[in-house]
Amino acid sequence: MKGKANNGDRNTAWYARCVSLAGITLLLVLWHLASLVYNPVVLPSPWATVSVLVTLTIEGQVIPTALITTAHALGGFGLAALPGSMLGIAAGINLWVRWLVWPVVTIFQGIPPIAWIVLALLWFGMGGGTPVFTVAVATLPIVFVGALEGTRTVDHTLLEMAYVFRIPRRMLISDIYLPHLLSYLFPVIIAGLGIAWKVALMAELLAANSGIGAKLGMARINLDTAAAMAWIAVAVLLMFTFEYVVLHPLKRWLEPWRQPAPLMDMPVDRMNHVVRSELVR
Amino acid sequence: MLTFSNICHWYGATVVVDQISFQVKPGQVVALTGPSGSGKTTLLHIAAQLITPAQGTVENQFRQTAYMFQEPRLLPWRTTIDNIALGLKARRVSRTVRQQIAWNLAERLGLGAAHAHYPHQLSGGMRQRVALGRALAINADLLLMDEPFSALDVGRRRELQDLLLRLLAEYGLAVLFVSHDLAEAVRLGDELLVLSSAPGRIVYRWQQDCPPPTRDDRYIYATVAALLQTPSVMSSFGVHNHQGGGA
């Protein structure tokens, strides 16, 4: 019976993949059809884009450029992550810090990244400093709020349990606070990195002479739409690669307890439990 | 020995428990029973030092006190074995030793196949067994329990009660437990304390002579029925004798 259920799951996953692939294929077909109608300067065909991408790769442009953008995005996010989470934890623990810092962070959150780019351009000029700074200030509020919420929502019933089992302070942090905080920070990190890539690209386009954004700017000046499409493809591939090659394995390693796994026996019992927790809520 | 002497406690102007005195002797199982709002959980929290009573004294001479909550309260990010071993880790027992103890307990509790599972992968009954394992692992001589089986269905509850009775006999634990279920109190308890509803006062004490293994269903039903005929117990639970009066 268990085997049957697993088979069913596997079939569903397989269907899901086929349908997703069909969606992407449909997009490519529509793109191709549209490229037949319009001038290549307006919309080059998927094949033209791929051939430009291959040429750029062979010329050795793609990987160094992608690495520069990665450095901008991760560098900026790295600069935001540490102070952002520290400040968030402090604000979660201490009311005074929360009252002091939260309004400031809210103001920062309200400033659009494009405005930061203008300021950064005035402060740092054209170069790598501008994208790194912009990414840092754009992602800091996200990390701050995640850490704050994570710290505030530690399950007090677990803390009570820890008290009656005489769990020392050091273990309270390593066994209760940190795993809980991590479970809050992980989705925040994924969302923050998504924003980091996009902001890095934008800052590079407007205020830097290297990275995928700068290449996009060059393609625009040269009216080279195929190259622009190729660089967009590089950006998308870069984000997906990072998410599936780095973030997802990292999450599986750090949070094995979040992975879905077959439930063990006693469905009625479990149902009671679910119903009960619904009622409590 | 756990001794409550003239315990009173109130939240704001509401008196929750009033003039409570009783003792739990080594190896004895004491059931605190009564309707909702009789301050049962408050008394248990006082015994666990989660609350300091407003008046009166509690003296706990037991070496080690363990607690089982109404919910399992397991760490979601720890496996069955690590959850059972939590109290041992807090007491700086080495990793190999505490894993060994947790393994043995998991086997005894029928959790052998689930030793590497995380709580969300377990059923409610299994989670509560892990919580029982965690309480037993620290080698306590007093166990405090707050209706730990109330969320389970009849069959599962019965199973865990039997398991608990076997383990209690083996480990020689003293237990103070709270239950609003009189049948459960009679099944597990050597002494029954019935509390009245708000404020909680002990309105009835009963020491049973019948040892746990001889308490069969017939005995339990008969005892519960007899208890519910007792005027103080009746009024505490708000039970009205429909046959009496008019007939």
Q: What is residue A70's predicted lDDT score, i.e. its pLDDT?
A: 94
- Domain coordinates in residue numbering, chain A: 49-255
What is residue A280's predicted lDDT score, i.e. its pLDDT? Answer: 38
pLDDT band at B180 (very low <50, low <70, confident <90, very high): confident
Q: Is A163 on the interface with B (CB under 8 A)?
A: yes
Q: What is the pLDDT of residues A30-45, one digit of tens each?
A: 999 999 999 888 899 9
Whether B79 has a pLDDT exceeding 90, the answer reads: yes
Sort A88 into a burial class: Cβ within 10 Å, 0-12 / 13-18 / 19+. buried
Q: Do B91 and A166 touch (CB under 8 A)?
A: yes
Digit-coded pLDDT (tens) for A172-189: 988 998 899 988 888 888
pLDDT at A8: 63
Q: Do B73 and A270 touch (CB under 8 A)?
A: no
Chain A residues closer than 8 Å to B98 by CB: none
Q: Is A265 on the interface with B (CB under 8 A)?
A: yes
Residue A86, token pair as written in the block: 């520290």
pLDDT tens, position by position, B93-104: 999 999 999 999
Say what the pLDDT of residue A272 is.
41
pLDDT at A1 over 70: no
**Average pLDDT, integer, range A229-251:** 89
Q: Which of A2-16, A119-133, B147-161 comes out lowest in average pLDDT?
A: A2-16
What residues of chain B have any CB closer than 8 angstroms to a CB in chain A?
A: 48, 50, 65-67, 69, 71, 73, 75-79, 86-87, 89-91, 113-114, 117-126, 134, 138, 144, 151-153, 156
Would you identify the CATH topology of the domain A49-255?
A: MetI-like fold (1.10.3720)
C-alpha to C-alpha distance for B192 and B173, rounded to whole angstroms: 17
pLDDT tens-digit profile of B201-246?
888 888 888 888 888 888 888 888 888 888 888 878 777 766 544 3
- For chain B, say whether A276 makes contact (Cβ under 8 Å): yes
Q: Which residue of A has its CA nearest to B84?
A: A165
Say whether residue A122 is in contact with chain B using an 8 A CB cutoff. Answer: no
CB-defined contacts A:B, below 8 A: 91
What tokens does A7 get? 């088979």
The residue of chain B with its CA nearest to that of A275 is B151
pLDDT of residue A204: 93
pLDDT at A267 over 70: no
Sign, Cα dihedral of B125, B129, B130, B134: positive
The pLDDT assigned to A269 comes to 42
* Distance (Å) of CA B181 to CA A6, B150, B159: 41, 9, 16
Q: For residue A194, is pLDDT > 60?
A: yes
Angstrom distance (rounded) from CA A119 to CA B8: 65
Q: Which two tokens stand for residue B155?
A: 């069959």
Which tokens go with A113? 């990244």
Helices within chain B (DSSP H only):
40-47, 80-84, 86-90, 95-108, 124-137, 154-171, 182-188, 217-227, 231-237
Q: What percent of chain A has pLDDT over 70?
A: 89
pLDDT at B242: 60
Our CA-based measurement puts residue B67 at a distance from the nearest CA of chain A, in whole angstroms, of 7
List all residues 6 or more positions away from A3 whose beta carbon is below 8 Å from its beta carbon: none
Residue A161 pLDDT greater than 80, yes or no: yes
What 3-state DSSP class applies to A160? helix
Q: Scanning the structure block, which residue is given the tokens 């701050």?
A: A144
Residues A2-33 pLDDT 10s: 444 456 667 788 888 888 899 989 999 999 99
User: Are the Cβ atoms of B48 and A261 closer than 8 angstroms?
Assistant: no
Chain A residues in contact with B122 by the CB 8 A cut-off are 263-264
CA gap A46, A55 in Å, rounded: 14
Considering chain B, what percentage of its residues have pLDDT values greater than 90? 40
Domains of chain B: 1-63+142-247 (3.40.50.300), 75-140 (no CATH)
Q: Do B123 and A270 touch (CB under 8 A)?
A: yes
Query: Does pLDDT of A271 surpass 50?
Result: no
| Beta-carbon separation of B124 and A272 below 8 A | yes
Burial class (CB in 10 A: 0-12, 13-18, 19+), B22: middle
Q: Which of A171, A264, A276 sits opposite B122 (nearest CB)?
A: A264
Closest residue to B123, CB basis, from A163, A256, A264: A264
Q: What is the average pLDDT across A118-130?
A: 88
Residue A264 has pLDDT above 60, yes or no: no
Q: Is B32 helix (H, G, I), strand (E, B) or coil?
A: strand
Q: Cβ contact (<8 Å) for B75 and A272?
A: no
For residues A235 and A212, give the distance between their C-alpha atoms in angstroms, rounded to a whole number: 7
Q: Which one of B77, B89, B142, B149 would you mutate to disrupt binding with A, by most A Cβ within 10 Å of its Cβ?
A: B77
Return the axis-axis angle of helices A212-221 and A178-207, rounded to nearest 10°.
30
* Average predicted confidence (pLDDT) for chain B: 88
Interface contact A218, partner B, CB < 8 A? no
pLDDT at B84 over 70: yes
> Rounded CA gap, A262 and A264, in Å?
6
- What is the model's pLDDT at position A68? 94
| Res. A277: pLDDT tops 50 | no
Q: Cβ atoms within 10 A of the Cβ of B63, count? A: 10
Nearest to B71, CA basis, from B43, B41, B102: B41
Distance CA A215, CA A231 (A): 7
To which residue do tokens 């430009």 refer? A52
Q: A259 with A252: CB under 8 angstroms?
A: yes
Tell me the C-alpha distance between A136 and A205, whole Å.
17
Nearest CA distance, B151 vs chain A (angstrom): 7
**Residue numbers in A near B130 (CB within 8 A):** none
Could you give the CA distance from residue A106 to residue B136 in angstroms, rounded to a whole number? 49
Q: Above 50 in pLDDT, residue B110? A: yes
Please report residues of B whose CB lies closer than 8 A to that of A166.
87, 90-91
Question: DSSP 3-state assignment of B13?
Answer: coil
pLDDT at B88 over 90: yes
* B134, closest residue in chain A (CA to CA): A165
Chain B residue numbers with beta carbons less than 8 Å from the beta carbon of A265 are 123
For residue A2, give the amino acid letter: K
DSSP 8-state symbol, B115 = T
